[in-house]
Copies of this chain bind each other. A is one copy, B any other.
């Protein structure tokens, strides 16, 4: 990250701050990749899992494409492509809204629901063993409150 900040003086990270930042940067991608990899043995990749999970939690198990895209942190076009797989697998169907001809709902099918119901416990176990169960209650709480603050700041930066 380079020393020599002297000139434009925001003060350098102290050791604890540094450890938090570096830990976050280097570990978060590793962790997410590992959890995605765990899912692959059940025949689904991380992106598709998140998609089905989002739908499974939505009222009526359906969401407008653009809302779904936002929750998945995908662009609208990215989601269009993501949908190909889960549509072909019949895990999700698309329904045009009768009240607003622009919007299309992504709707979790019975097959999709059964599938994710089967996979979810393994995913949960993966999340627990690779992250949650490793952390103390204090750390759990700090992750929750910390990311909440960060998220709030992110949102107000659009």
A150 touches B9 (CB 8 A): no
Say yes or no: A26 contacts B56, CB within 8 Å. no
- Would you call A127 and B2 a contact (CB within 8 A)? no
Query: Known: A31-B154, A143-B146. Contact between A26 and B135, CB under 8 A?
Result: no
- With both chains docked as a complex, state the minimum distance between the C-beta of A140 and any C-beta of chain B, in angstroms: 5
Of the candidates B26, B142, B154, the one whose C-beta lies within 8 Å of that of A30 is B154
B20 & A147 in contact (Cβ 8 Å cutoff): yes
Take A117-B4, A128-B10, A151-B23 as given contacts and tell me if A141 and B16 are in contact as well, using a CB distance cutoff of 8 Å.
yes
Please tell me the size bucket of the interface on A.
Answer: 35 or more
Q: Does A124 lie at the interface of the complex (its beta carbon under 8 Å from any beta carbon of B)?
A: yes
A139 within 8 A of B: yes
**Chain A, range 101-158, C-beta contacts under 8 Å to B:** 116-117, 120-125, 127-132, 134-135, 137-151, 153-154, 157
Contact B56 A117 (CB under 8 A): no
A to B CB contacts below 8 Å, 21 in the list: A1-B53, A1-B57, A2-B116, A7-B121, A8-B125, A13-B128, A20-B140, A20-B141, A20-B147, A23-B148, A24-B143, A25-B32, A26-B151, A27-B147, A28-B147, A31-B154, A34-B157, A130-B153, A130-B157, A135-B149, A142-B142
